[in-house]
Amino acid sequence: MTPKFILRFDDISPNMAWSKFSAFDALSREFNIPLLLGVVPKCLDPKLAVEPVRHDFWDVVRDWSARGCTIAQHGYTHQYVTRCRGILGVGNKSELAGLPYEEQLSKLVEGKKILVQQGVWQPVFMAPAHSFDEVTLQVLKELNFLHITDGYGVYPYDIGSLRAVPQLFSAPKHFGFGVYTICLHVNNMTQRQVENTLHFVRQHKDRFISFNDAVNISCPVPGISLAIRVITTCVLRKIRNLRLAKAD
């Protein structure tokens, strides 16, 4: 099996870097590539406000949804309130992990309510800062979420009651098989990174699939999927935490 890719964008919010995102949007329309878009229901994170607000924000999200993009709920307000790294064991901040059930539930209920009111909610979750815990998984089950974009490995796997599609790299790297979620934060991308990613997508446009198609991919060789997940968990955790230590 040749590798497949998903193009994932975090931090979709009214004040995001539209000037950088627009080239990806145009490319996805040109080649009919459905994007995975992590929409912050009620963004109160000042770090995500980098360009003037788009007042037609929800019209734009509805348009993406109508043309087959996957809309994932990216937390609620995107404000980090704990230093909990969650199940994946990376980072040192979270909007949810470490909080009691009732608090996580009320945040995600409010977030879901906004997306439902805007007509764009789908049963897909994207955790801010990749940080969620066992309690988050219980809350997601309660709110009828089915899928999550995160975790190690190169094939979809089950976590709690959810089906997860892994997310390893922010660059288009791969091992020659499996499914890879390329995780992009346009607010922080340089023009060069934008150009390089656009080039890769153009070169491999037939290998880009929707998140919903990725959910149904299974590993052709039993046992390999778990083995790769264990290996990538160990290696990437070390690398990510080393980076974090350097950044601190």
Site residue total, Zn ion (CB under 5 A):
3
Nearest approach, Cβ of residue 6 and Zn ion (Å): 17
Beta-carbon contacts of 235 under 8 Å, excluding residues fewer than 6 positions away, are none
Judged by CB under 5 A, does residue 128 bind Zn ion? yes
d(CA 154, CA 3): 9
Give min distance, CB of 111 to Zn ion, in A: 13
Shorter beta-carbon distance to Zn ion: residue 3 or 89: 89
> Which CB atom, from 11 or from 133, has the smaller least distance to Zn ion?
11
Smallest distance, Å, CB 202 to Zn ion? 26
List all residues 6 or more positions away from 126 whose beta carbon is below 8 Å from its beta carbon: 8, 10, 36, 38, 72, 73, 74, 75, 148, 149, 150
Residue closer to Zn ion, measured from CB, 9 or 145 = 9
Query: What is the per-residue binding string for Zn ion in 2-31, x denoting contact by CB under 5 A?
Result: --------xx--------------------
Residue 222 region, left (φ>0) first, then alpha (ψ -120 to 50), else beta?
beta
Select 149 or 232, whichever has its Cβ closest to Zn ion.
Answer: 149
Query: What is the nearest approach in angstroms of Zn ion to the Cβ of residue 185?
Result: 7
CB atoms closer than 10 angstroms to residue 104: 24
The nearer residue to Zn ion, 47 or 238, going by C-beta atoms, is: 47
- Determine how β-strand 157-159 pairs with β-strand 147-149: unpaired
Q: Which residues bind Zn ion (CB under 5 A)?
A: 10-11, 128
